[in-house]
Amino acid sequence: MRIGLLGTGNVARALAQGWRAAGHDVLLGSRTPKERTDLGLPVAGLDETAAHAEVLVNATPGNVSVDLLRSLGAPALAGTVLIDVGVGLTDDYTELSHPNSSLGEQIQEAFPLTPVVKTLCTMDSTAMVAPNELAGPSTVFLSGDDAEAKRTAGRLLTDLGWPPSSQLDIGGITTARGQEHFALLFMGIAGGLGSHTFNIQVVPPRSGQPPTVRS
């Protein structure tokens, strides 16, 4: 599959390397591709990357993502599955830049002909591509309105080492705000652990035991 990744930071590079190892054709998109030739990965301009992609991945800072995508134009993105892994934070990383919404929702609203899937934003780049290196199984979430787009994203997650049993579809794109708002708890956990490489696992009730309902 041809995968275009917008961004050349740690997340974009890790995902590109992971998917390339799984046999996919990856291309990183940069505003200044001639200055990013030292990454060991193919790099092109943003327009070329979008045109290359069967699946486009937004790995840009969440507070600039919508404007960057608008610079590409809605026609260039129409019909292309867009996997959004960004989280919008203020410059000091203490607050969300989308406190009453989510980046995923804003991208979907801005590009209604582009099916958006939110995933992988509840962990760091190391855990994204090496879930088997964690101490136990954990959960990756998917949010989006298009079922086929989520199936495509799920297959790509499997290629990174996330088995279907670790993938949890939590609903439409409005549920992306739950994933993104986890960033505040993520930072607290990272401070407590002294590490940003970890993940969470959703643990359901034991089989046959009804859930406890609190009044």
Q: Which CATH number fits domain 2-193: 3.40.50.720, 3.30.1130.10, 3.40.50.300, 1.20.58.220?
A: 3.40.50.720
Give CA–CA dist 65/72, Å, rounded: 11
Interacting residues of 204 by C-beta distance below 8 A, sequence separation 6+: none
pLDDT at residue 90, rounded to an integer: 83
- State phi, psi for 9 to the nearest 5 degrees: -80, -170
pLDDT at residue 208, rounded to an integer: 66
Q: Look up tokens 């591709």; give the residue.
A: 33
pLDDT at residue 48, rounded to an integer: 97
**Domain residue ranges in the chain:** 2-193
pLDDT at residue 96, rounded to an integer: 87
Distances in whole angstroms, Cα of residue 198 to Cα of each of 62, 65, 168, 189: 21, 25, 17, 9
pLDDT at residue 188, rounded to an integer: 95
| pLDDT by position in tens, the chain (length 215) | 999 999 999 999 999 999 999 999 999 999 999 999 999 999 999 999 999 999 999 999 999 999 999 999 999 999 999 999 999 888 887 888 888 899 999 999 999 999 999 999 999 999 999 999 999 999 999 999 999 999 999 999 999 999 999 999 999 999 999 999 999 999 999 999 999 999 999 999 988 666 665 54
- State phi, psi for 208 to the nearest 5 degrees: 90, -10
Give CA–CA dist 19/23, Å, rounded: 7
pLDDT at residue 214, rounded to an integer: 57
Q: In the 3-class helix/strand/coil scheme, how is 122-185 assigned residue by residue?
A: CCCHHHHHCHHHCCCCCCEEEEECCHHHHHHHHHHHHHCCCCHHHEEEEECHHHHHHHHHHHHH
40: its two tokens: 């060991």
Distances in whole angstroms, Cα of residue 48 to Cα of each of 11, 77, 94, 108, 155: 20, 12, 34, 22, 24
For residue 44, list its beta bridge partners: 29
pTM over 0.85: yes
Give CA–CA dist 72/43, Å, rounded: 17
Q: What is the DSSP letter of 60?
A: S
Q: Are 46 and 29 in contact (CB under 8 A)?
A: yes
Q: Distance between the two ends of the chain, CA-based, in angstroms?
A: 49
